[in-house]
A and B are shown apart, each in its own frame.
Chain A
Amino acid sequence: MTVTERQQLSYIAAQAADARVNLEIETEGMTLNIGPQHPATHGTLRIVAKLDGEQVVSAEPVMGYMHRGYEKLAEVRTYPQVTTLINRIDWLGSFANEVPFILAAEQLMEVEAPPRAQWIRTILFELSRIANITLFLGDMAVQVGAITPVFFAFRDREHVLNQIEAVTGGRFHPNFDRIGGLKDDLPAGWIDETRQALRKIRSFCDQIEELVEGNEIFQARTRGIGVIPAEVGLSYGLTGANIRASGVDWDLRRDNPCGLVYDQVDWKVWTHPDGDSFARFWVRLQETREATKIVDQLLDGIPAGPIMAKVPVIIKVPPGEACVETENPLGMMGYYVVSKGDLFPFRVKIRSASFSNVSITPWLLKGVYVPDIITILGSLYFILGDIDR
């Protein structure tokens, strides 16, 4: 008997043994389609989960239900028009989407925004971060079953959106950033109103801390659930709060501010050693607080001067390539812009955070229970527009 025959026989024997076990305990797997229309996937993410009882055997995210082809569309838009498109990538923190693209275009054109524009850019960038993560803080509570905090989140996010609207004219899609500066200056009295809004956000954070973070059931539901070790997270390309919650001290705002004025203020990068769902929630809560502090300090020292550098009316970007990455609310967002000296970019590659953040789900969801799927998806915090573009 050759080795392969013996292997075959032992394989057949093992299969027979499996069949016997299956006869004794009649168990049958079940495939559960979570999404694309499901309340927990906020958008159209679909997760195909193979279940054994309530336990997940394997889970596969299926994306693409919301693909809008922005990378291709950007090739037939002039540079100022592209911002209108990319506003819609992460629709909760839209202004933050515009900034890296504009910075990349500025690098190619070798212009620099005046200091005042840089400061206001940074302020709006952080405000959109607050508007984005505030909603997460309420939404995470909904995912584990408490429905009240999300109403508080919507209520207090409104204060920040009002401030963004007062400057840019748009609540969700500001389309305000320009190559070489900003469209407009700040309206009168805006600084004081913003300070009030920030105070409200800080008290909202305290409220969430008491109502959600301190709740025993919330902790029981999130602690130790969906643990991402640092090296696994890095290998899947997680960024933002997701990787900081695994104890990796990595923040592009500090490490590579490129054109934003984070080096002018005193702030801290929060990390958490645990890497579980609770850690991701905790880090985002601290980041919201930290963002209010950053904005507070920036409001103190906005320099005077113009908000627009000297830029030709018809923007033609000289040939070359530029890649700019910033720390967006959801994680690292990067634009790789290739120009052939035309009115339009030759190619725009968008690296958005949620795509990588969601790619870890098959690894993460193996062996968890059905309720934990939702906890983990909620704590990873993706936005569908950011996955599919």
Chain B
Amino acid sequence: MIGVLSELSYWQVTSIRVAAGLGAVLLVAGTLVYVHLFKMVSFMQSRLGPMEAGPYGSLQLMAEIGKFLQKEDIVPRRADRFVFKAAPFVVLASTFLLLVVLPGGPDAWFISNDLGIYLAMAVGSISVIGILMAGWGSASKYSLLGGLRATGQLIAYELPLLLAVVGVVIQAQSMNLQEIVLVQANGEIFGWGGVGNPFIVTQFVGFLIFMVAMQAELTQTPFDMPVAESELVTGYMTEYSGLRFLLFFIGEFATAGVFSAIAAVLFLGGWYVPGLDPTDNLFNVIGPLVLIGKVVLLSFLIFWIRFTFPRFREDQLQRLAWKFLVPLALGNIVVTAVFKVAF
């Protein structure tokens, strides 16, 4: 892709990148909404889910979007108008920025950055600001409680998320996500290179910590106190309607998709499938699809857990983060470092 793009002019490259970015976020979000929220959960709950719009309800999301677009955009009278209106865009911006560093194939990526995962973790935290803006700007007590809860929770779970990544970085000896994929593709498990060396094997503890912390980052059950619909109505989203609610809704699923993609890159080998040469040009085409497949797999776990478990209380959640996940992640780093030096 780099080779092709270098012959085009700047505006052409930029429009291709914007289109690809929008497509990557919205298509993945749409897929996750349909496959998981509409269908998988419905089957778990002994119902069919949407069946009328399109074949097996596959166009239901379009209908929903149409509905949300028609709704009135209500701003509460005492709300901080600018902050209230800007908040969903800040949340969504964090999702798009996360996407920038993700590789979809040997040449199919947006930017090659040697600090890739570092950048991803940094821009991933921007959503906290958006959520706090929404909670504060709504001038609603439920929103405020939700926003404060979200902030405390996201700060607590950034740490184990980051520490879980450190193990992978030590093993791959790179923070570039493309490098991490290639190390996994070319790696060997005890001299056998049949499936490469996906880091889920050696970094299994790190993978578990990453998945738990990710669940909390995405504020999905059992860590969904910020939205807690039985307590806080919908937390920081309570006062939103119409398009802005839709942006939060898309942001939730798009972020789930992008975070799953990061997990797939870090632990499942990203766009690589075993048995093929990782430098093959074919991967520029099937790589994104393979990545989406792994994303659907990982987000299946997220939504399975979301719709099965009850939610923690705020103090229990903090205790889990600081007293269990952080020490475990630190231990994981120590063990990984020792093994890296020893072998």
Interface residue ranges, A against B (CB under 8 Å):
30, 32-33, 38-40, 54, 141-148, 151-152, 155, 211-212, 215, 217-218, 220-221, 369-374
Contacts and interface: CB of A to CB of B under 8 A. Distances in A.
B67 interface: no
B141 A145 contact: no
Contacts of A146: 221, 307-311
A142 B45 contact: no
A218 B313 CA distance: 10
Contact of A148 (B224, B232, B307, B312): B307
B221 A54 contact: no
Contacts of B141: 30, 32-33
A31 B315 CA distance: 21
A370 B145 contact: yes
A144 B311 contact: yes
Interface of B: 41, 44-47, 141-142, 145, 221-222, 224-225, 228-233, 307-316
Contacts of B142: 32
B309 A54 contact: no
Given A145-B309, A215-B309, A221-B316, 6 more contacts: A33-B141, A147-B221, A217-B309, A369-B313, A372-B313, A374-B230
Contacts of A144: 230, 310-311
A212 B309 CA distance: 8
Contacts of A147: 221, 307
A39 B316 CA distance: 23
B311 A143 contact: no
A323 to B, nearest CB: 38
B312 A221 contact: yes
Contacts of B309: 145-146, 215, 217
B39 to A, nearest CB: 15
B46 A152 contact: yes
B109 to A, nearest CB: 38
Q: Can you list the 7 inter-chain pairs with the closest CB atoms, starting with the nearest?
A: A145-B311, A151-B45, A146-B310, A144-B310, A145-B310, A40-B230, A371-B313
B319 to A, nearest CB: 10
B219 to A, nearest CB: 12
A371 B225 contact: yes
A54 B230 contact: no
Given A148-B44, A151-B47, A155-B46, A39 B310 contact: no
8 contacts: A54-B145, A142-B230, A147-B221, A148-B44, A151-B45, A221-B310, A221-B312, A369-B314
B222 A145 contact: yes
Nearest to A219: B310
A146 B28 CA distance: 26
A215 B311 CA distance: 11
A145 B235 CA distance: 13
Contact of B310 (A32, A40, A155, A217): A217
Contacts of B311: 144-146, 217, 221, 371
A370 B310 contact: no
A217 B314 contact: no
A30 B41 CA distance: 37
A218 B316 CA distance: 12
Given A32-B141, A40-B230, A371-B225, A148 B45 contact: yes
Given A218-B310, A220-B316, A370 B45 contact: no
A39 B44 CA distance: 23
B313 A141 contact: no
Given A145-B221, A217-B311, A371-B313, A39 B230 contact: yes
Contact of B231 (A30, A151, A370): A370
B46 A371 contact: no
Contacts of B44: 148
A369 B315 contact: yes
A13 B221 CA distance: 49
Nearest to A144: B310
Contacts of A39: 229-230, 233
A217 B41 CA distance: 20
B317 to A, nearest CB: 10
B310 A373 contact: no
Contacts of A151: 45-47
B308 A148 contact: yes
Nearest to B313: A371
A3 to B, nearest CB: 44
Nearest to A145: B311
B76 to A, nearest CB: 15
B45 A220 contact: no
A221 B228 CA distance: 14
Nearest to A141: B310
A211 to B, nearest CB: 8
Which of A33, A151, A371 has the most CB atoms of chain B within a 10 A radius of its CB? A371
A54 B44 CA distance: 34
Given A141-B310, A144-B310, A217-B309, A374 B231 contact: yes
Nearest to B232: A370
A123 B238 CA distance: 45
A204 to B, nearest CB: 11
A250 B44 CA distance: 39
Contacts of A30: 141
Contacts of A40: 230-231
A32 B145 CA distance: 10
Nearest to B229: A39
A369 B44 CA distance: 32
B304 to A, nearest CB: 10
B312 A220 contact: yes
B233 A38 contact: yes
Contacts of B316: 220-221
A206 to B, nearest CB: 16
Contacts of B231: 40, 370-371, 373-374
Contacts of A145: 221-222, 224, 228, 230, 309-311
Nearest to A152: B46
Nearest to A40: B230
Contacts of A152: 45-46
A217 B145 contact: no
Contacts of A142: 230
Nearest to B311: A145
Which of A30, A39, A215, A218 has the most CB atoms of chain B within a 10 A radius of its CB? A39
B30 to A, nearest CB: 22
Contacts of A211: 308
Contacts of A373: 231
Contacts of B222: 145, 217
A219 to B, nearest CB: 10
